Amino acid sequence: MKNKRTWSLIVAGLVFALVVALDLVTKELIFKNLVPNKGDNAKVIPGFIDFVHVENDGGPWGIFSGSTIGLVILSVIILVLMLVFYALRLRQTKEKSSMWLACSVGLIAGGCIGNMVDRIALGFVRDFLNFQFMDFPAFNFADVGICVGVVVFIIYFLFFYSKEDKNKKKDEKIKKIDKKEGENE
């Protein structure tokens, strides 16, 4: 890969599009065909997973219930901060941009947009995945994108962020040495 920055943008965009499409398409299909009414339940794998019709007008686990406008504003703020960080990091690292960061940005942004579409259009988020083997609230693919994206973001910070900075400093030293050698000739 000659220019990792270009590939990073492509990867982030593709992951983003995949998460948004998967989330919105599955919601439409599940809610129109399998669980059309609030409270409906369709067994997928008995004892393991069901599709349920849940209208969540709050955040994760129903916190901030009834705060649709506040949650949209919070989502926009988080999305903007994430994209600004990503843009600045791409600028800093030049051609050494991490695919871990690209994937995390695509996952988190895709999840934010998937749920934001529901909040703005419907006033609530449609959740339908329900694991029966554990006590966990219903969720959707946007939620999965956000959660996986946050984990990938943490991995990026723990294992790759400082390496990118070290590589950048190393490259800057090499350029200074090359420049000095060129001036001395």
Task: Note whether residue 184 is domain-resident.
Answer: no
Return d(Cα 93, Cα 90) in angstroms, integer.
Answer: 5
The boundaries of the domain holding residue 105 are 4-168
Instruction: Report the domain count for the chain.
Output: 1
Q: What is the dihedral of CA 147, 152, 154, 159, to 10 degrees?
A: 170
Note whether residue 28 is domain-resident. Answer: yes
Q: Which residues are catalytic?
A: 127, 143
Identify whether 99 is part of a domain. yes
Per-residue pLDDT of 48-76, as tens digits, reads: 999 999 999 988 767 778 788 999 999 99
Q: DSSP class of residue 39?
A: T
Residue 30 lies in a domain: yes
Nearest to 60 by CA among 144, 163, 123: 144
Neighbours of 164 (CB within 10 A): 17
Rounded to two decimals, the pTM is 0.85
Would residue 103 count as lying in a domain? yes
Is the pLDDT at 13 greater than 90, yes or no? yes
92 within a domain of the structure (yes/no): yes
